[in-house]
Amino acid sequence: MTGPAARVRTALDGDVWRISLDDADTGNAVDLVLAEQLADALAQRPAQARAVLLLSTGRDFCVGADVRVLAATDDLPALVRELSEVWQRVIRAVLYCEVPVVAGVQGSVAGAGIGLLGACDLVVCGRSMKLHPAYGSLGLSPDGGTSWALTRALGAPRALELLLTDGVLHAAEAHTFGLVARLVDDESLTQESTALARSIAAGPVRAMVRTRGLVRRAAIRTLEEQLDDEERLIEESAADPESREAMAALLAGRRPDFRGAG
């Protein structure tokens, strides 16, 4: 017997682990197969990969859950629970990835796809991108970190307005509100996101991951708590070979080689 067809493709591009959702016919709709394949792809990142680049094929990045599968089941609560559990594996794998995660996104991003973007460190979006939570149209509440991502970027009033009215957020608005880092033409999306991922991979990735943690925790901490964590992590960074290489390169007037720094 053969397993399900590959709907997530992976490739090592230098020191960037490229993961591509590859089910364009469905808009990269999420079901158990795609979710499990994506979780596995993240877990299989080679040790030499210093950044992850998440892309997709087709017009849309991810249209959310496959409604046809949801509608066909005899036990919707059980299926939704199982799918949500697997998607949480995906979100946690991105959140706690040991290297930075960059995404290049175009077209529709709905439902659980929004939570996936919110978990990434940097998102480059094409001008065609539009965010549509879509949970309201299915009579469901959000999952997969979608409510967290929207509230963190938009604030509670705007997030509720978008979720409760089943509204749409276009690319320029997502960029203005800070949900995505860069806005580019669709034609240059792959090139721009790949260049960004390669640039990140050439940098001090362990210091970047420490920085990521500080930024994510800042919103739920007091300044005193943040100061304590910054003190701990900058000392940890100072003990890391990355820091020694950066300073040696600066004094020598050369580019640092973080790939060889421990």
DSSP 212-254: HHHHHHHTTS-HHHHHHHHHHHHHHHHTSHHHHHHHHHHHHTS
Which CATH number is 8-201 given? 3.90.226.10
How does strand 169-170 pair with strand 130-132? antiparallel
- Contact of 101 with 31, CB cutoff 8 Å: no
Tokens at 215, concatenated: 């930024």
pLDDT recorded at residue 79: 95
Contact between 169 and 84 (Cβ < 8 Å):
no
What is the CATH code for 205-260?
Answer: 1.10.12.10
> What pTM does this model have?
0.93
- For residue 250, count CB atoms less than 10 angstroms from its CB and return exposed for 0-12, middle for 13-18, buried for 19 or more: exposed
pLDDT band, very low/low/confident/very high, at 108 (cuts 50, 70, 90): very high
State the CB neighbour count (10 A cutoff) for residue 4. Answer: 11
| CA 183-184-189 angle, 5° bins | 120
Predicted confidence (pLDDT) per residue in 148-207, tens digit: 999 999 999 999 999 999 999 999 999 999 999 999 999 999 999 999 999 999 999 999
- Domain boundaries defined on the chain: 8-201, 205-260
Percentage of residues of the chain with pLDDT beyond 90: 96
* Amino acid letter, residue 28: N
